[in-house]
Amino acid sequence: MNLDEPKPEETVAAQDAIGPLATLPLAFRVAGRTAVIAGGGDGAAWKAELLVAAGASVVVFATKPSRKLIELAARRPAVRLEPRAWRPDDLTGASLAILEAEDQNEARAFRAAAQAAGAPVNVVDKPEFCDFSFATLVNRSPLVVAVATDGASPVFGQAIRARIEALLPASFADWAAAARDWRRRLAPLGLDFRQRRHFWERFVDLALASGERAPEPEDFRRLADAEADSAVPKTGRILLVGGGPGDPDLLTLKAVRALQTADVVLYDDLAPPRVLEMARREARRIDVGKRGGRESTSQAEISALAVALALEGKTVVRLKGGDPSVFGRANEEIAAARAAGVPIAIVPGVTAATAAAAELGVSLSDRLLARRVQFVTARGQDGRLPQGLQWAAMVDPDVTTCVYMGVRALPELTARLIAEGLDGDTPAVVVENVSLAGSRRFAAPIRLLPERVAEARPTGPCLLIYGRALAGAAA
């Protein structure tokens, strides 16, 4: 029985030909069956615990059981401790046989006895005697992910497990359990093959997008109703996703999940290719940045496009550089979505200023030198220095100032800052291409910085940071 083989209506992509496998991972049901363990160490205790979690009854033969094993047997009625050495006939009827022992002869004898009884064998830490090994687990039961390296490197396997662990919200256990329940409830509804397949696709989208909560009965009704009455208009949604400064390692887990549920990704020049690669393979990617020398798509056009796609029922990811709420014009997209009744949510990201601080190895705030940190944009609507900058705040010596979109107006900006009273020796840095290959930094007292930057002719995005707390970075 292939419980987890996709049913035809759930198959999304054709499977590629399978390369060689060191082992065949199987999901083995042991509930209600008996496993025999011989040996009394902590390895035996751990295997017993795992088997009991999977519903097996476990008999452990041990002349000297460890404290852990004794405690386990006291705690778990499904574990029976036999205070004697194992005998070959103990293995009769066992569904799995496990030995923890140092002695090679004992291992050989145990393996022979288990084989005679028809039980697959595992000898702890002796792969040459094993029919099977225990994989490292990510437990979202009934969803279980197993990582196995055939003994090549258990530590590597555990590191991979940790990564997968971080990617799968705890609630996936509830979603997987709901799927089992809903499969039963779907059967009598009389949906055809295509509708069932569509139901499960939408179930997956919903589960992947709703990691922070468990499924609700309402979810089943909505998914099922949408299939039963395909005339019901579906509304998608918009996610304003912070893509960070460029390095995909700086994406949040939530951003990765959003990208992997997207039907459409709207991106612009600030979205680095390696971040875009994290999007679901089937997602349509639309460049709303500069096109072949033409002007960028206007903000109003982008908002309208996102809304139109969401109204078609699509999950639209509007991928932004850095954090969407920092100079990302997010309010305009939020207003457009709300006006059209389209759900919209923000997924925060690492903004250029904090990523630059990390790269420079400095803190933006400082207990003595900078009790305030401010993010400022130095580009007004016409591309020049904006009107209405609060110059008193801009030249406050106790502040670290991060200037976004500030290089073009750098000479004008620094001249004005010094004229308004900023010390010309204030440490200042321009960082180009933060977190990306080809990142450069130009550090100088602020009065000399425009000259330094002009010589270097940066072409990537640049962030200016100045203030006394930057002394370490300017060195």
Please identify every residue annotated as catalytic.
Answer: 268, 290
In terms of residues, how long is the chain?
475
- Per-residue binding string, ligand SAH, 405-424, x by CB under 6 A, is x-------------------
| Cβ neighbours around 450 below 10 Å, total | 21
> Is 268 among the residues that bind ligand SAH (CB under 6 A)?
no
> Is 246 among the residues that bind ligand SAH (CB under 6 A)?
yes
Q: Which stretch binds ligand SAH (CB under 6 A): 29-37, 84-92, 223-231, 318-326?
A: 318-326
| Cβ neighbours around 76 below 10 Å, total | 15
> Is 328 among the residues that bind ligand SAH (CB under 6 A)?
yes
Q: Are 427 and 447 in contact (CB under 8 A)?
A: no
Contact with ligand SAH (CB under 6 A) among 179, 270, 276, 311: 270
Site of tokens 């083989």: 5
Question: How many residues belong to the site for ligand SAH (CB under 6 A)?
Answer: 22
Residue 277 Cβ vs ligand SAH, minimum distance, rounded to whole Å: 17
> Is 327 among the residues that bind ligand SAH (CB under 6 A)?
yes
> Is 442 among the residues that bind ligand SAH (CB under 6 A)?
no
> Is 436 among the residues that bind ligand SAH (CB under 6 A)?
yes
Separation of alpha carbons 435 and 443, rounded Å: 17
> Is 243 among the residues that bind ligand SAH (CB under 6 A)?
no
Contact with ligand SAH (CB under 6 A) among 48, 462, 465, 473: 462
> Is 373 among the residues that bind ligand SAH (CB under 6 A)?
no
| Cβ neighbours around 359 below 10 Å, total | 18
Residue nearest to ligand SAH (CB): 322
Q: Which stretch binds ligand SAH (CB under 6 A): 101-109, 117-125, 319-327, 444-452?
A: 319-327
How many CA atoms lie within 13 Å of 73's alpha carbon, on the beta-carbon side? 20
CA distances from 177 to 38, 69, 141, 189, 331 (A): 34, 31, 8, 20, 38
Within 342-361, the residues that bind ligand SAH by CB under 6 A are: 351-352
> Is 321 among the residues that bind ligand SAH (CB under 6 A)?
yes
Q: Are 312 and 236 in contact (CB under 8 A)?
A: yes
Q: Which stretch binds ligand SAH (CB under 6 A): 70-78, 85-93, 434-442, 445-453?
A: 434-442
Residue 328 three-state SS: coil
Between 81 and 474, CB nearer to ligand SAH:
474
Residue 373 three-state SS: strand
> Is 378 among the residues that bind ligand SAH (CB under 6 A)?
no
> Is 463 among the residues that bind ligand SAH (CB under 6 A)?
yes
Q: Which two tokens stand for residue 423?
A: 């010390």
> Is 326 among the residues that bind ligand SAH (CB under 6 A)?
yes
Q: Are 288 and 215 in contact (CB under 8 A)?
A: no
Q: Which two tokens stand for residue 424?
A: 């010309």
Estimate the share of the chain in helix, then strand, then coil, as percent rounded to the nearest 5. Answer: 40, 20, 40
> In sequence order, what are the beta bridge partners of 114?
none
Binding residues (CB under 6 A) for ligand SAH: these are 245-246, 270, 320-323, 326-328, 351-352, 404-405, 431, 433-436, 461-463
